[in-house]
A and B are shown apart, each in its own frame.
Chain A
Amino acid sequence: MPRLLIADDDEDLRETLTLVFQGAGYEVEAVADGEQATLAQERRPADLLVTDLFMPLRDGLETIAFFRSRYPRLPIIAISGGGYTGQTTDHLSVARAAGADASFRKPFDMRALLDAACRLAPPA
């Protein structure tokens, strides 16, 4: 069973995504921020990382850059509600440039996210 690591500070989104991916045949571990994601990955390496871009402690872009350098073959999906307070940069593009394999703007089509996950780390 492929292992999926979710990093998002929204508790409800963590819960629902966990349920969805468990239903799709993944073993899921969900954490609230980038630092916990790093610790979880070191403890038990995952096959796919789904990460939010804006989180406390270590934010998404940083996390992606860290994972990409530390685990070059780990597929990464970035999800985000997009920037706010006048930040005009498209963070998802930046995330792709930083090494994310796919990116989704919240609220995303759950089917599309599942398809991307299945493509990058097929479930058993």
Chain B
Amino acid sequence: MSLRGYLLWLVLVATLPALVFSTWLIYKSADEERTFRKAEIEDTSEILARDIEAYFQQSVASLEVLSVSGALVANDLRAFHELARRLLKNHPEWANIVMVGPNGEHLLNLNRPYGMPLPPLARPDVFQESARLRRPQVSNVTEGVTLQRLLTVVVFPVVRGTQVKYVLGVAQEARNWEAFLNSRLPQGMYATLLDREHTIVARTLHNERYAGSKPVGTFVDALTRDPKRGVLKGPVLEGFEGYGAYRQIPFSGWTVSAFMPSEAVEGPVLALLAQLGAGFLLLMATTLVIAWVLGRQIAAAIGSLTASMHAVGKGGYPLPVDTRIREVGEANQALENAAELLAGRLSREQAARAEIEAADRAKDEYLAMLAHELRNPLAPVNAALFILAEEPLSSEAARRARTVLGRQAQHLGRLVDDLLDITRLASGKVELQREAVSVGDVLRQSVEDHVELAARAKVDLSLDVPAQPILVLGDRTRLAQLAGNLLQNALRFTPAGGRVTVSLERRGGEARISVRDNGVGIEPDLLGRIFEPFVQGRQVGARAKGGIGLGLPLVKGLAELHGGRAEAFSAGLGKGAEFVVTLPALQDH
């Protein structure tokens, strides 16, 4: 699977618990919201029932106060009419106050002036019932005779001794109940008030249309099953789905129901669901976009890294990886380091191989040159032997031939000695016989030994050593060999008429030997390698005068064996050369 695939899976796996939890939360919230709404409806029905009960009780109390008024006790109906009129004025919600006799005769009606003939009662039964039972009653809803409007009446029996003397009633317009209910309803909730016969007294929704009629059958069925209390769900008169709760009001036996459109119950829940759903979708979308962007960055970074690795794999250098991902950056840095290491190793290996090849070539050249140099002396030896064969042994020619033979034998011996020494130096087998040696003495002796050679080469050889001896702890023989090699080298590369100057001085704690000539000089290219074995300056169009390129390596090896160093200086071809050997000096004594 590709990296992107894994990242997508990672996002899904990471967001799935959030999805499950959100769903559960939404469900739970919706359920709680619904439960809350239902509880609110039930509470409202409870409150309405209690308030209506209280209202009726208050009406009864008002009637009781009237019943014990002096006018009524004295049966002064004119005075009582006046009292009731004043009371009615203080109760705008009351439509009328009436009074009937024990046999149902209409005695008083506040809607008519006192003494005028009175119309028949709309609901005489309530008054009769009250008189019979001797307790207050609340009527069902009924149409008023005078006002032709729906009314309800609260009646109160006035008992004198054992007889019911009057029955007082206070009428109220049914539509007043609409305002009464409305003032107690929360926003979006409706209420219906039913009388004992399940006729609608008032309704906060379409009151004019439904007052006086019956509610939906399901409500009536529920009231039949449980008249005290209950909950309802189903279509209401208007036809929409509703949710409601009802309570019976104890004194009156009426029923009040509070209801809401199911939409209003579920609406906020649905709105909440929608909000939460939208929130979740937004979260998912944001997460996915961020995951996509991050995934793209990661995938791109890994892609660049992979390309970089391929480049290194093909022997190239890592490609630049533009990323803010630390690990990827570090990986590419490591790759760069590895590539550099690899390149470094490779170049070192190539350099080493080139060095080996160069050394190999130098050795081949050296062997060819060595053969040449070893064969060279054979020419004068042959010639000398020829002379010895041809001439009398005592002749001058024979004597000179013998001298030549001796010199050549010595020369060959020196060649072989040099070869042996360089081999032993290289393998560290040269042991120094150390003693305090005056460098000046060694140089003086060496110059004396080469005076004849210098004279033959027509080279001016001079020596400059300080009067105060400079001592080193060294091997006298080896130091003499070192000085001799330096001198032979200088003489070998200085043409006739030239000058070789040997000097010595103390510099700090060191003895500094300098052999300077104004000979052929050294090419800059050669200067750095001049102390390497088998390397030899090529004299201008000529072969070396009996040297085999080991003198200077011997000088360097011997100087280092003494804890010193050897250096060569030259301004270039034809500019002469200076060889300097520095040795650690012993303290002045």
A110 pairs with B382, CB closer than 8 A: yes
State A71–B394 Cα separation when bound (angstroms): 40
* Cβ < 8 Å to B, chain A residues 89-124: 106-111
Residue numbers of A with Cβ under 8 A of B are 9-13, 15-17, 19-20, 22-23, 33, 54-59, 62, 79, 81-86, 106-111
State A87–B364 Cα separation when bound (angstroms): 11
Question: Measured between C-beta atoms, what is the minimum distance from A18 to chain B in Å?
Answer: 9
Q: Given A23-B397, A81-B379, A107-B381, does the pair A86, B391 have CB atoms closer than 8 Å? A: no
Main secondary structure, interface of B, reads helix
Question: Measured between C-beta atoms, what is the minimum distance from A52 to chain B in Å?
Answer: 9
State A63–B169 Cα separation when bound (angstroms): 167
Question: Measured between C-beta atoms, what is the minimum distance from A39 to chain B in Å?
Answer: 14
A82 contacts across to B, CB distance below 8 A: 372, 375
* Cβ < 8 Å to A, chain B residues 532-576: 538-543, 545
Picked from B365, B375, B383, B540, the residue with its CB within 8 Å of the CB of A85 is B365
> Whose C-beta in chain A lies nearest to the C-beta of B368?
A84
Q: A56-B495, A86-B364, A86-B368 known; 12 other A-B pairs, CB under 8 Å?
A: A12-B377, A12-B404, A16-B387, A16-B404, A19-B387, A56-B541, A56-B542, A81-B375, A84-B372, A84-B373, A84-B543, A107-B375
> Whose C-beta in chain A lies nearest to the C-beta of B541?
A59
B540 contacts across to A, CB distance below 8 A: 56-57
State A11–B404 Cα separation when bound (angstroms): 9
A16 pairs with B541, CB closer than 8 A: no
A20 pairs with B387, CB closer than 8 A: yes
Main secondary structure, interface of A, reads loop
State A119–B377 Cα separation when bound (angstroms): 27
> Whose C-beta in chain B lies nearest to the C-beta of A106?
B379
Residue numbers of B with Cβ under 8 A of A are 361, 364-365, 368-369, 371-373, 375-384, 386-387, 390-391, 397, 400-401, 404, 407-408, 456, 495, 538-543, 545
> Whose C-beta in chain A lies nearest to the C-beta of B549?
A85
A22 contacts across to B, CB distance below 8 A: 397
B400 pairs with A85, CB closer than 8 A: no
Picked from B371, B390, B538, B543, the residue with its CB within 8 Å of the CB of A23 is B390
B369 contacts across to A, CB distance below 8 A: 84-85
A12 pairs with B408, CB closer than 8 A: yes
State A84–B543 Cα separation when bound (angstroms): 9
> Whose C-beta in chain A lies nearest to the C-beta of B408?
A12
State A28–B404 Cα separation when bound (angstroms): 18
B372 contacts across to A, CB distance below 8 A: 81-84
A20 contacts across to B, CB distance below 8 A: 383, 386-387, 390
Question: Measured between C-beta atoms, what is the minimum distance from A94 to chain B in Å?
Answer: 14
Picked from B371, B390, B400, B542, the residue with its CB within 8 Å of the CB of A15 is B400
B456 contacts across to A, CB distance below 8 A: 11
B400 contacts across to A, CB distance below 8 A: 15-16, 19
> Whose C-beta in chain A lies nearest to the C-beta of B391?
A23
B368 contacts across to A, CB distance below 8 A: 83-86
State A16–B369 Cα separation when bound (angstroms): 24
> Whose C-beta in chain B lies nearest to the C-beta of A111?
B386
Question: Measured between C-beta atoms, what is the minimum distance from B102 to chain A in Å?
Answer: 160
State A82–B378 Cα separation when bound (angstroms): 13
19 CB-based A-B contacts, threshold 8 Å: A10-B379, A19-B383, A19-B401, A22-B397, A33-B542, A54-B543, A55-B541, A56-B539, A56-B541, A57-B542, A79-B379, A84-B365, A84-B371, A85-B538, A86-B361, A107-B375, A107-B379, A107-B382, A108-B379
A16 pairs with B539, CB closer than 8 A: no
B542 pairs with A86, CB closer than 8 A: no
> Whose C-beta in chain A lies nearest to the C-beta of B382?
A107
State A89–B541 Cα separation when bound (angstroms): 15
Question: Measured between C-beta atoms, what is the minimum distance from A50 to chain B in Å?
Answer: 12
A59 contacts across to B, CB distance below 8 A: 541-542
B380 pairs with A16, CB closer than 8 A: yes
A19 contacts across to B, CB distance below 8 A: 383, 387, 391, 397, 400-401
A13 pairs with B390, CB closer than 8 A: no
State A83–B369 Cα separation when bound (angstroms): 8
Picked from A9, A11, A12, the residue with its CB within 8 Å of the CB of B542 is A9
Question: Measured between C-beta atoms, what is the minimum distance from A88 to chain B in Å?
Answer: 9
Question: Measured between C-beta atoms, what is the minimum distance from A64 to chain B in Å?
Answer: 13
B541 contacts across to A, CB distance below 8 A: 54-59, 62
A81 contacts across to B, CB distance below 8 A: 372, 375-376, 379, 543
Q: Given A19-B400, A23-B390, A82-B372, does the pair A108, B365 have CB atoms closer than 8 Å? A: no
